Structure 1
Amino acid sequence: MRTSTNPELTAAWATVPDVAKAQGRHAEAVRLRRAFPSGVAPAQALTAVQDTAIATLTATGKWPANFAKDAAKAHAEAVVWEAEVVALRRAEDVLKYAAEDTRDSMAPDVLAHLGSRLDEILTAAKDASTALGDVTTADEAIDAGGDALNAWRRLTTLLGDLRNVRAAQWDVLRGVSGDDERAQMRTWIAQGHGEVRGIRLDDVPAHVRDAMRTQTYSIAQLVWVAHSEAGYVPTSFDELRATVEAATEPVTYDDLGPLRDYSPRITPIPTPPAPALTGAERTPELRY
């Protein structure tokens, strides 16, 4: 089973009852298999009895009268041992994959927990940063002492928590994604996506964007994200994709001005005027 030493990820898995139960059963299978006494396969057991009989014949010139009984007993015990050890190994494998499937199916719940942890970290970082004043380095914090030094120590601890949450976030998302999705995530991570939303990356300070791209976080980056209130943990690949698309949608401008109506215009044909009278008019002679 995929294991992790990340305390944030381990804690997130443990908060989901179905995951905790599945992992507990797998752990019990591992314990039983490791505690099971060592033994030999049936073929090896028979070979050992045969070797003993041959050695006796060689030394005394007599074949052991109880050979058949000893061989049957050794073989039967070995068959029982092998059956159970094989069953325990299979149980470990079955429960391993069952636990992994359960974890993957509950990934949204795990990611939601990580999102809650991120909110806690950022809230604490925002509160702690108010005591820093103009302090921006560890040396300055030591020189300032008092509240500033305590705040720096607190932020240092929170920075470690932030790193673990981000690592856990990508671990879970990779675990439930296909090859194409993982490749897409690598591209997005390299661009700095997946950590803030509601803001375009072009509007993120360069040092913060670089930290997100390389995942080498600093206290300055932690404080900026905490005050921006834009930090988040995507709960699925689809949510991540939607956030990336929203953050990279191009800005459009109307260079043509207001819309104009170019539909054809219909001009009515005017009624011709009546002819003017000249006085020379006469009635036509029909007899002609």
Structure 2
Amino acid sequence: MTEVATTQERHAEAVRLRRAFPSGATPAQALTAVQDKAIATLTTTGKWPPNFAKDAAKAHAEAVVWDAEVVALRRAEAELQHEAESIRDDMAPDVLAHLGSRLAEILKAAKDAGTVLGDVTTADEAIDAGGDALDAWRRLTGLVADLRNVRAAQWDVLRSVSHEGERALLRKWADEGHGEVRGVRLDNIPLHVRAAVRNGSYGTAQVVWLAHSDAAYVPTSFADLEADVMAAEGPVVYDDHGPVFDMNPRVVLIPVPAQPDTSRDPRPYID
């Protein structure tokens, strides 16, 4: 994680240097400016500037130096960005695993605090109880901030290593309440916990619920989260060929023609 932060800091410095670099002209633009000035002088005075060659050489040399540095800064920015993204992608599983371990520590501490608190569920009740209950409440409220940080980091890492289509799914799944507990259907997750996932407004109630769920986790990858979503909601079936039509030949019965009526005399009737 330190390596990622260091590379990101260096990339940010390259961006700062490139933006702060003074504007200038390319060698071709610098020569064109000197030529235009000389032509304008000849047009208005009838004389060619005697220092044209010296001015052109100076302008070109300065432009070459400017252009070389600005190109180098742009390359540095692009290469450091690529390096930072590459390191981030390579280390994402380790970062998510670390967040999972940190989540387990937070929830264990929350469960311990909840055991001490017993029926105490508000700050006023903790103050009234005093002693160990008040200390446990203070620990629990501190764990709320820790949980928020872990969940925010979780979604940031998952989004950073996912492409645009996957990021849209991540937003959808987070809004629905996925990515909190494994193996639990959304219908069995309290609405207040699902709301906390959607807007990051975790409180003591959400921490306590997660601590006692024994199923809270941090997905180790997009695929890990996707598998959990499918397990919780049922497999998603995709058909790349559109709707299925029955192409088997149909058997159409040919109606049997009516039998001729032989009950009548076919001979003509003569009165």
TM bucket normalised to smaller: 0.5 to 0.7
Aligned pair in 2 of structure 1 residues 28, 188: CA closer, same or farther (>3 Å)? Answer: closer
2:231 aligns with one of 237, 241, 246 = 246
Structure 2 unpaired stretches of 5+: 236-271
Cα distance in 2 between the residues matched to 1:81 and 1:147: 68
Cα distance in 2 between the residues matched to 1:175 and 1:96: 13
Aligned pair in 2 of structure 1 residues 139, 55: CA closer, same or farther (>3 Å)? Answer: farther
Shift of 1:38: 5.8
* Aligned residue number for residue 196 of structure 2: 211
1:176 aligns with one of 161, 170, 186 = 161
Shift of 1:219: 0.9
2:215 aligns with one of 206, 230, 234 = 230
Secondary structure of the corresponding residue to residue 110 of structure 1: helix
Q: Does residue 83 in structure 1 map to residue 68 in structure 2? A: yes
* Aligned residue number for residue 243 of structure 2: none
TM-score normalized by the length of structure 2: 0.67
Shift of 1:132: 2.9
2:99 aligns with one of 114, 118, 124 = 114
Secondary structure of the corresponding residue to residue 130 of structure 1: helix
Shift of 1:24: 5.0
User: Which structure is larger by alpha-carbon Rg, 1 or 2?
Assistant: 1
Cα distance in 2 between the residues matched to 1:242 and 1:235: 11
Cα distance in 2 between the residues matched to 1:33 and 1:187: 37
Q: Deviations over 1:52-88 (max 9, x none)?
A: 989999xxx9976444313311321122112211221
Structure 1 unpaired stretches of 5+: 1-12, 251-288
Contact 2:114 2:136 in 1 (8 A): yes
Q: Which amino acid in 1 is paired with 2:77?
A: E
Q: Which amino acid in 2 is paired with 1:235?
A: T
Q: Does residue 71 in structure 1 map to residue 56 in structure 2? A: yes
Cα distance in 1 between the residues matched to 2:125 and 2:143: 19
Identity %: 75
Shift of 1:221: 0.8
Secondary structure of the corresponding residue to residue 70 of structure 2: helix
1:190 aligns with one of 163, 167, 175 = 175
Comparing 128-137 with 68-77, greater Cα deviation is found at 128-137
TM-score normalized by the length of structure 1: 0.64
Aligned pair in 2 of structure 1 residues 153, 55: CA closer, same or farther (>3 Å)? Answer: farther
Shift of 1:92: 0.3
Contact 2:175 2:194 in 1 (8 A): no
Contact 1:193 1:213 in 2 (8 A): no
CA RMSD of aligned residues (A): 3.7
Aligned pair in 2 of structure 1 residues 53, 151: CA closer, same or farther (>3 Å)? Answer: farther
Secondary structure of the corresponding residue to residue 216 of structure 1: coil
Comparing 82-91 with 182-191, greater Cα deviation is found at 182-191
Comparing 31-40 with 218-227, greater Cα deviation is found at 31-40
